[in-house]
Structure 1
Amino acid sequence: MKKVRATLDRVLSKAGIASRTTTRAWIVQGRVKVNGRIIRNPDHWVESAKDVVHLDGLRVREEKKIYIVLNKPTGVVTSFGDNKDRPTVYDYLKQLERWVFPVGRLDMDTSGLLILTNDTEFGEALLQPESKVPKTYYVKVSGVLTLEEYFQLAGGLDIGRGERSGPCIVHEVRSTDKYTWFELTITEGKNRQVRRMCDAIGHPVLKLVRIRVGRLQLDDLPIGKFRILSNKEAQTARSL
């Protein structure tokens, strides 16, 4: 019987966990064990017939692709671990036995729809800038927006750090004499983009919830809960 051998970084990437560049970094960090022993060499040879690989305590297999949507709470970071001991999205996935990674990030103070998967091709396709996948947010800001400020948001504006936001769709939901609520749909993924857009027009964000990616919506999924998507549902996240 022919032995199937591959380097450790290749085994992890083929399992759909992350790119080889990312998995090499994880191995060097000591997050990977082979047969119960920490291996820090990404080029370590593994034989699939006899060697058992674990990442962060979870066994690694080339498994069926899985797609998850989590309604991320505020105050939670989008990473596996945190050096400040803050809660992470993985605290809400403890009953899930398969490894998944987040497709993009939501900052700690932003809640809402977060996709996690073990399908690296799917994740990379969603994150490619040229894919222009629309992401819709429910936004509450301080103050009342003028018509001119809505036009500024919709048309694109300077958001600092030498960056400019592109055109987007803005739809007012309601307003009072102190606050405004609106939906904002962007097709970019600049760091903290929505907050920076609102800061640029002088209306700081008080609440930010991502409610839709492509045509995939949160619907009535409770905060802090997740559900497994069908393959067909997952593909709606890539729909324009």
Structure 2
Amino acid sequence: MIRHGLARTLSKQGVCSRTEATRWVQAGRVSVDGRVVRDPEFPVVRDRHSIRVDGLDLRPPTPFYLMLNKPRGLVTTVRDEQGRDTVYRCFDGASLPWIAPVGRLDKASEGLLLFSNDTGWASRITGPDSGPDKTYHVQVGGQPSAEVLAALVTGVEDAGEHLAARSARVLRLGSRNAWLEIVLDEGRNRQIRRLLAAFQLPVLRLVRVAIGELAIGELGKGEWRELSRAEFEALAHPTR
């Protein structure tokens, strides 16, 4: 019998973030077996305890999946302590259920970003063994040689982590820079930037163009659309 904290249990049901769940619990909005509980870490077993929010039974929402073309300059978080604009600005005015980012893109990066309230699906997408490959187009300062491209796949050690690309190739060369296509089969923090920095290749622009077979296509900057059933199911069962 596995017990989890009350706030974590609420967030795992896809009804809100863990931070928001903590606020609900501390505000006295959540009851367990008819008794108001104000401790976010109060241990519960989802299938054995009756959990209510504002007097209503806790029920998982209808699963929802969408893709966003994240603009550069937005932070991938619900709320930012520094007051910076977040990716949720792109949903202003839209009537959507609570959704969370599936994976992340840093502030300076742009491109394909997934959102869902299906936490089990999200775990599969971001899992190193179960998730699909991610494809990026990266503009770098300099013109990497064939040896450097091969070394990107071999990988480097950085801060105790092995960083490597699944594949790397040149898309086009400029007079002083180059566009590369880099494919990752895992998602470590700032992985591409750290990997390229090891070879003195500064990143000028980084765009995620595909996750598995799902490509960003003609989706404009800041635009989003709901995924089809075939799309979200294919992402959960990638072929490598």
TM-score by length of 2: 0.81
Q: Is the 8 A contact 1:17 1:101 kept in 2?
A: no
Does residue 105 in structure 1 map to residue 73 in structure 2? Answer: no
Cα offset for 1:33?
Answer: 5.8
Aligned to 2:149: 150
Local SS of the residue matching 1:131:
coil
CA distance in 1, matches of 2:106, 2:181: 18
Matches of residues 73-222 of structure 1 in structure 2 within 5 Å? Answer: 73-94=71-92, 95-158=94-157, 160-222=158-220
Instruction: Return 5+ residue gaps in structure 1 as ranges.
Output: 1-6, 54-59
User: In the aligned structure 2, how far is the partner of 1:100 from the partner of 1:35?
Assistant: 21
Q: Distance in 2 between matches of 1:75 and 1:212?
A: 20
Is the CA contact 1:34–1:52 (under 8 Å) kept in the aligned structure 2? no
Partner in structure 2 of residue 70 of structure 1: 68
Deviation at 1:224, TM superposition (A): 0.4
Compared CA separation, residues 10 and 80, structure 1 to 2 (3 A): closer
161-170 or 136-145, which deviates more: 161-170
Between Structure 1 and Structure 2, how many residues are aligned? 223
Give secondary structure in 1 for the equivalent of 2:129: helix
**Alpha-carbon distance between aligned partners in 2 of 1:34 and 1:221, rounded to the nearest angstrom:** 42
Shift of 1:12: 2.2
Question: 1:149 Cα deviation (Å)?
Answer: 0.8
2-side partners of 1:74 and 1:214: how far apart?
22
- 1:32-71 aligned within 5 A: 40-42=38-40, 43=42, 48=52, 51-52=55-56, 62-71=60-69
Return the offset for 1:203: 0.8
1:28 aligns with 2:26: no
What is the CA deviation profile of residues 49-94 of structure 1, one whole-angstrom value per residue up to 9, with x for unaligned ones? 97259xxxxxx85221000101111100000001111111111123
| Counterpart AA for 2:215 | Q
Would you say the 8 A contact 1:27–1:41 is kept in 2?
no
Separation (CA, whole Å) in 1 of partners of 2:100 and 2:212: 19
In structure 2, the gaps of 5 or more residues are: 31-36
Deviations 1:162-203 (A, max 9, x none): 222235111211012201001100101111000111111111
Instruction: State the identity %.
Output: 33
Which sits farther off after the overlay, 160-169 or 192-201?
160-169
Q: 1:230 to 1:178 in 2, by over 3 A?
A: same
Distance in 2 of aligned mates of 1:48 and 1:124: 25
- Distance in 2, Cα, partners of 1:217 & 1:47: 39
Distance (whole Å) between structure 2 residues aligned to residue 194 and residue 152 of structure 1: 13
TM-score by length of 1: 0.81
1:206-230 deviations in whole A, cap 9, x for unaligned?
A: 0000011111111101110110112
Taking the aligned partners of 1:189 and 1:172, their CA distance within structure 2 comes to: 21
CA 1:35–1:28: 2 relative to 1, 3 Å? closer
For residues 215 and 84 of structure 2, the distance between their equivalents in structure 1, rounded to whole angstroms, comes to 27
8 Å Cα contact 1:35/1:52 also seen in 2: no
Q: Which range moves more in the overlay, 98-107 or 124-133?
A: 124-133
1:155–1:167 Cα contact (<8 Å) kept: yes
Cα distance between partner residues in 2 of 1:218 and 1:49: 37
Question: For the structure 1 residues 202 and 83, does the alpha-carbon distance in structure 2 shift closer, same or farther, using more than 3 Å as the test?
Answer: same
